[in-house]
């Protein structure tokens, strides 16, 4: 069996992995780098060379896992493409949104390469996606198969990260390979903890997002929700509003569900603002509320919370009214997004607050602002220049990713022969490697060098 890490660096970038069995070739995930542009934002598809893929399997619809799928499908027109039904539904919305973002960037960056794909091409490739059920083995031709089939098969398991997210079990050449995708082993407010196979595994491909983050002592989601509620109350007492930068898919819906619980428990009630894309994805959460595993299955977010919807135009006129929560994307406060534009309007005013609730790349505007102290000069948007931080900044731990302790516990329980560590920045991957080497001395722990073929 051969494996190549198609991500260009050891980081959380454009995630993509090539796997070759004795008779089949496939790619797991095909992401877009959240920060880089042009060719650099793509996985290193050249490392696949002239080899024809049989299948492309997508773990979930976050941009760093699905964002450049239309390009790989253009180059590998014969490959079949598999994902869960919610991933297909959300992926289609997000890829079309990505076309709009790239079309805008075409002028901003002055690059004729953009958009990397069009709305029409996106519609065409979506027709070739096959939706698959959870806990059902399929051959790479897309037929249902039994778990003991002699052919190469794959099977999706609920990864508990966002709606539709999966871990992928591959059975090939008499061995079992498990790719965690992005995973959470704990319940969130909507998502239920991952439910993976109890089968023994030979090779584990594991994400490491939180590998360099120690779990805060005494942390529990319930106590963190309480702290969040209290902080909102205090922020309103300051006479300001609160910006919560969130990803449109996943974090927005988790935050809305928490705000719903505050209303239900009558602790707090206040107007909420979200973005147009977040609203579209929340609608998919609502339509699928009673299908599949989740918490609060009767909660329809849009119906219950009636959030006001802002877009790229109305964000400029939106009032920064006291006693309101603005849960706006993007989570990393990328330039020109709603959260970035809104942050510029409140960052230098002490009555307002910004609450961070999830992962942000340390070099992104959200990462920079999160680590800023009162009085620091920060540049949120290069076109605007530096601003002095005066607003109240707080951080909360509502990650959609497994803690490093739970990843280690999972790997230890499986005790596979080999572990490949992926989807982590260098310090995260290194911490995980050191820990696994000492906890599992019989296991070969590998940090796959990008672009280099490994014989497994």
Residues at the site binding Zn ion, with contacts judged by CB under 5 A = 62, 64, 182
Taking the complex as a whole, the smallest distance from the CB of residue 161 to Zn ion amounts, in Å, to: 6
When the beta carbons of 54 and 64 are compared against Zn ion, the nearer one is 64
For residues 64 and 361, which CB has a smaller minimum distance to Zn ion in the complex? Answer: 64
DSSP string, 47-105: GGTTPPPSEEE----SHHHHTTHHHHHHH-TT-EEEE-HHHHHHHHHHHHHHHHHHHHH
- Whole-angstrom Cα distance, residue 4 to residue 450? 7
Compute the least distance from the CB of residue 452 to Zn ion, in Å: 22
> Considering beta carbons, is residue 325 or 421 the nearer one to Zn ion?
421
What angle, 0 to 180 degrees and rounded to 10, lies between the N-to-C axes of helices 276-287 and 251-264?
70
Least distance (Å) from Zn ion to the CB of residue 262?
26
Q: How far is the CB of 372 from Zn ion (least distance, A)?
A: 25
Number of DSSP helices (H) and strands (E) in the chain, helices first: 13, 22
Q: Least distance (Å) from Zn ion to the CB of residue 208?
A: 11
Please state the closest distance from residue 250 (CB atom) to Zn ion, in A: 7
Least distance between Zn ion and beta carbon 209 (Å)? 7
- How far apart are CB 423 and Zn ion at their closest, in Å? 6
Question: In this complex, which beta carbon is closest to Zn ion, that of residue 66 or of residue 262?
Answer: 66
- Pick between residue 16 and residue 279 the one whose CB is nearest to Zn ion: 16
First to last CA, the chain: 5
Give the side-chain half-sphere CA count within 13 A for 451. 8
- Please tell me the distance from the alpha carbon of residue 65 to that of residue 58, in angstroms, as a whole number: 7
Cβ closer to Zn ion: 94 or 272? 94
Residue closer to Zn ion by CB (options 182, 361) is 182
**Beta bridge mates, 170:** 154, 177
Nearer to Zn ion, 20 or 182 (CB): 182
> What tokens appear for 252 in the block?
């927005």
Residue 394 β-bridge partners: 355
In the sheet with 80-83, reading across from the earlier edge strand, the strands are 129-131, 80-83, 55-57, 25-28, 17-20, 2-5, 453-455
Output 62 or 352, the one with its CB closest to Zn ion.
62
Residues paired with 236 in a beta bridge: none
d(CA 147, CA 427): 37
Please name the residue that has the structure tokens 């059920």: 133
Q: Report the nearest approach of Zn ion to the CB of residue 12 (Å).
A: 6
How far is residue 185's CA from residue 207's CA, in Å, rounded to a whole number? 12
Helix or strand run (H / E) with residue 366: helix 365-370
Distance of alpha carbon 66 from alpha carbon 34, whole angstroms: 12
**Minimum CB distance to Zn ion smaller for 20 or for 64:** 64
Going by C-alpha positions, the residue among 314, 317, 319, 343 that lies closest to residue 330 is 343
In angstroms, what is the minimal distance from the CB of 339 to Zn ion? 18
């Amino acid at each position: 069996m051969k494996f190549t890490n198609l991500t260009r660096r050891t980081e959380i970038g454009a995630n993509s992995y090539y796997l070759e069995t004795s008779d089949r070739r496939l790619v797991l995930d095909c992401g877009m780098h959240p920060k880089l542009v042009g060719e650099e934002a793509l996985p290193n598809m050249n490392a696949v060379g002239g080899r024809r893929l049989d299948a492309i399997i997508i773990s979930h619809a976050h941009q760093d896992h699905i964002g450049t799928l239309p390009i790989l499908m253009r180059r590998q027109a014969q490959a079949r493409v598999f994902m869960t039904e919610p991933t297909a539904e959300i992926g289609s919305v997000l890829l079309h949104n990505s076309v709009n973002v790239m079309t805008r960037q075409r002028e901003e960056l002055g690059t004729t390469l953009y958009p990397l794909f069009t709305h029409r091409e996106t519609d065409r490739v979506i027709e070739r996606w096959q939706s698959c059920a959870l806990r059902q083995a399929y051959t790479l031709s897309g037929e249902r198969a039994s778990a003991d089939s002699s052919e190469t098969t794959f099977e999706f398991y609920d990864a508990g990260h966002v709606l539709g997210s999966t871990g992928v079990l591959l059975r090939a050449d008499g061995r079992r390979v498990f790719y965690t995708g992005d995973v959470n082993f704990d319940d969130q407010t909507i998502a239920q903890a991952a439910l993976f196979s109890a089968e023994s595994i030979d090779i584990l491909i594991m994400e490491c997002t939180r590998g360099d983050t120690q779990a805060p002592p005494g942390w529990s989601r319930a106590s963190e929700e309480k702290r969040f509620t209290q902080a909102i109350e205090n922020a309103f007492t300051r006479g300001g509003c609160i910006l919560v930068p969130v990803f449109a898919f996943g974090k927005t819906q988790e935050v809305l569900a928490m705000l719903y619980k505050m209303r239900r428990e009558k602790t707090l009630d206040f107007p909420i603002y979200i973005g147009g894309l977040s609203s579209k994805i929340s609608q998919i959460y609502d339509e699928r509320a009673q299908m599949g595993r989740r918490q609060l299955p009767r909660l329809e977010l849009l119906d219950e919370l009636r959030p006001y919807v802002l877009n790229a135009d109305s964000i400029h006129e939106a009032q920064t009214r006291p006693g309101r929560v603005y849960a706006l994307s993007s989570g990393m406060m990328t330039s020109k997004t709603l959260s970035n534009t809104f942050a510029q309007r409140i960052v230098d005013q002490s009555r307002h607050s910004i609450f961070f609730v999830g992962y942000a790349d340390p070099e992104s505007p959200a990462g920079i602002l999160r680590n800023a102290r009162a009085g620091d000069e920060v540049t949120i948007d290069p076109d605007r220049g530096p601003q002095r931080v005066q607003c109240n900044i707080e951080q909360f731990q509502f990650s959609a990713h497994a803690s490093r302790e739970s990843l280690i516990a999972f790997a230890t329980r499986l005790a596979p022969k080999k572990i490949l560590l992926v989807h982590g920045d260098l310090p995260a991957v290194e911490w995980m490697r050191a820990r696994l080497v000492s906890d599992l001395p019989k296991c070969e722990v590998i940090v796959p060098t990008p672009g280099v073929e490994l014989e497994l």
